[in-house]
Amino acid sequence: MHELGIVYEVVRIVDGFVQENQLTKVEKIVLEVGQLSQAIPRFLEECYPAAVSETAYEDTKLEIIVLPANGKCKSCNEVYNIIEHRRICPKCHRDEYALISGEEFNIKEIVAG
Amino acid sequence: MDELKVFTIKKNIQEDNAKVAEITRSQLRKQGTYLVNIMSSPGSGKTSTIVRTIKALKDEMKIGVMEADIDSDVDAKAVQEAGAKAIQLHTGGMCHLDATMTRQGIEELGVEELDLVFLENIGNLICPAGYDTGAMKNVAILSVPEGDDKPLKYPKIFGKVDVLIVNKIDAIEHFDFRMDLLEERVRRLNEDIIIFPISAKTGEGLDEWLNWIRKEVRKRG
């Protein structure tokens, strides 16, 4: 469980952006988190209040967009969720794929003024 | 109230870590210190493999070890007794080492005169695989009792490392562990991985691993 450290890092990066652009209020932070990334969205949400407590971001909302763990089948080019299908292509039943999404952990955007 | 706008950041949270790791790598390269990151689950034999390696190589090169552990100095003591410079990184509740913690460790250890440094990561097959520490090469240790199915359960680490050490092969007859099956599963994730089956206890298979280290340290920088 390392989500608290990750959330601190998010706040640190956002704070850098806020200073740089001389913003005064951040309404919302939007993250993109892949299903295969190092962080679990529910834990991120649970840690977030602790990370922003008594900071300028105490009232800033956190939104998490989960990106699917999608692979493209190397045999038939079918795109499928490798977690739901336990890595096996639902169309041709092979299990060799190239990962096309799911490992992301991005700060997508902030809504601020 | 000011009008709110959307500011696109699109910044990968790991970007800063990757930058720090790159700085560490280039500094170490310049001064001729070879850093190896060793990852495995608890109890697979990270420390005993490192101790065995130090004993075999200590007359050929200067070795240092950074031991990451939640809270104890048992491992650092064992490593010092074997003949290496060692420090214990007390990592609190962390489940992995990142590039910044590794840099702090390097500063504390003092690596200028060292040829080879092992970073013994925290015992965990999941989180350490996601963080570049600044090491030149990444090594995973899997021990026979853990089972040959681990690459199926923890694909990330097996897909990422340069070397896989399979430890405790002296106990293989007591377990339903198939080396051929393991290799097939690992190669599917990582075609070019180098695999060394060893026993840190008996010394079996150790020469191939030691020769690989010698070769890597020789061509460092």
ipTM over 0.85: no
For residue A64, is it left (φ>0), alpha (ψ between -120 and 50) or beta? beta
Measured CA to CA in angstroms, residue B93 lies from A4, A49, B21, B210 at distances of: 11, 19, 22, 33
Whether residue B153 is contained in a domain is answered as yes
CA distance B136 to chain A (A): 22
The domain containing residue B85 runs over which residues?
A: 33-218
Class of CATH domain A3-112: alpha beta
Q: Model confidence over A93-111: pLDDT tens digits? A: 998 899 999 989 999 999 9
CA distance B189 to chain A (A): 10
**Does B94 contact A5 at a Cβ distance shorter than 8 Å?**
yes
Whether residue B13 is contained in a domain is answered as no
Domains: count for chain B = 1
CB contact residues (below 8 A), chain A span 11-50, against chain B: 13-14, 17, 21, 23-25, 27, 36-38
Give B-chain residues touching A9 at CB under 8 angstroms: 13, 16
Q: Model confidence over B13-59: pLDDT tens digits? A: 888 899 999 999 999 999 999 999 999 999 999 999 999 999 999 99
Q: Which helix (H) or strand (E) holds B56?
A: helix B46-57
pLDDT for B221 = 55
CA distance B91 to chain A (A): 12
Instruction: Identify whether the C-beta of residue B155 lies closer than 8 Å to the C-beta of residue B189.
Output: yes
Give A-chain residues touching B156 at CB under 8 angstroms: 36
Nearest CA in chain A to B94: A2
Average pLDDT, chain B: 92
B164 — pLDDT class (breaks 50, 70, 90)? very high
CATH number of the domain bearing residue B74: 3.40.50.300
Beta strand ranges found along chain B (DSSP E): 5-12, 34-40, 63-69, 85-90, 116-120, 137-143, 163-167, 194-197
CA distance A25 to chain B (A): 8
Whether residue B3 is contained in a domain is answered as no
DSSP character string of B165-210 = EEE-GGGGGGTT--HHHHHHHHHHH-TT-EEEE--TTT-TTHHHHH
- B115 pLDDT higher than 70: yes
Q: Which residue is associated with the tokens 């198939």?
A: B178
Q: Which of A94, A97, A106 to mutate to test the interface with B (most CBs of B within 10 A)?
A: A106
Domain boundaries, chain A: 3-112
Nearest CA in chain A to B156: A36
Question: Of the candidates A2, A96, A109, which has its C-beta nearest B9's C-beta?
Answer: A109
Whether chain A has a CB inside 8 Å of the CB on B96: the answer is yes
Task: Kindly state the DSSP code that residue B32 receives in the 8-state scheme.
Answer: T
Q: Is the dihedral of CA B184, B185, B190, B193 positive or negative?
A: negative
